[in-house]
Each structure stands twice: as C-alpha cells, then as structure tokens.
C-alpha cells in the first residue's frame, strides 16, 4: 500500500510523519495522546490538500471529531492547520479558528 495519499500530522508543529494506515479514514488509525494534551495530538493528513493552504504553517488536515473516549471517531473535517489545537466540545480545532 502506498503512503502517498495520507500521513499523520502532529499538531502544534510542522512535523509530518508517514503512517500508512491513514489510508483508512473510517477508523482511528493515527496515534493520539490524552484528550487534554492537544499539543501531542496526531491527525490524519490529506497530503493532496497541502498545496491549497497559503504557507507552510497552515497545512491541510482532517480534524478528528470525537463522540466519546471509547469510540473517538465520529468523522473528519478538512481545515488548514494553524499553530495550535485545543479541545472544543466533542472535537479538536485550531485555536486560531475558534473565533
């Protein structure tokens, strides 16, 4: 299987690590940290969407929606990655996008 389509992106940084199982967007395949440790969260990144973002500090990622701690994945939503993420209700969002 190719790793070209997706990779795991570490929030709060420009680090992107290859993670082949990100090709399955229906399951929780990226590693993650504690729900309160949002700076350590990993997100499944759509590499093809990176070029649509204005610069290297805003990378397109699919935000992982969480319904609860035992069944964390409710869906994905594409955003441009900013500098930091934080918890907002049932999902993680870029701090700069909270308004």
**In this prediction, what percent of the chain has a pLDDT beyond 70?**
0
The answer to whether the beta carbons of residues 90 and 67 sit under 8 Å apart is: yes
Region of 8 (left: φ > 0; alpha: ψ -120 to 50; beta: rest) is beta
Q: Which of 3, 23, 5, 9 is nearest to 92 (CA)?
A: 9
Domain boundaries, the chain: 6-97
In the chain, how long is the greatest CA-to-CA distance?
Answer: 39
pLDDT at position 39 is 40
**pLDDT band at residue 96 using 50, 70 and 90 as cut-offs:** low
Residue 60 structure tokens: 């397109």
């Amino acid at each position: 299987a190719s790793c070209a389509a997706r990779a795991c992106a570490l929030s709060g940084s420009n680090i992107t690590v290859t993670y082949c199982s990100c090709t399955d967007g229906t399951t929780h395949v990226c590693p993650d940290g504690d729900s309160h440790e949002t700076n350590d969260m990993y997100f499944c990144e759509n590499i093809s969407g990176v070029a649509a973002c204005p610069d290297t500090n805003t990378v397109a990622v699919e935000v992982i929606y969480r319904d609860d701690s035992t069944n964390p994945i409710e869906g994905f939503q594409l955003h441009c990655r900013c500098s930091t993420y934080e918890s907002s209700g049932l999902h993680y969002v870029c701090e700069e996008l909270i308004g």
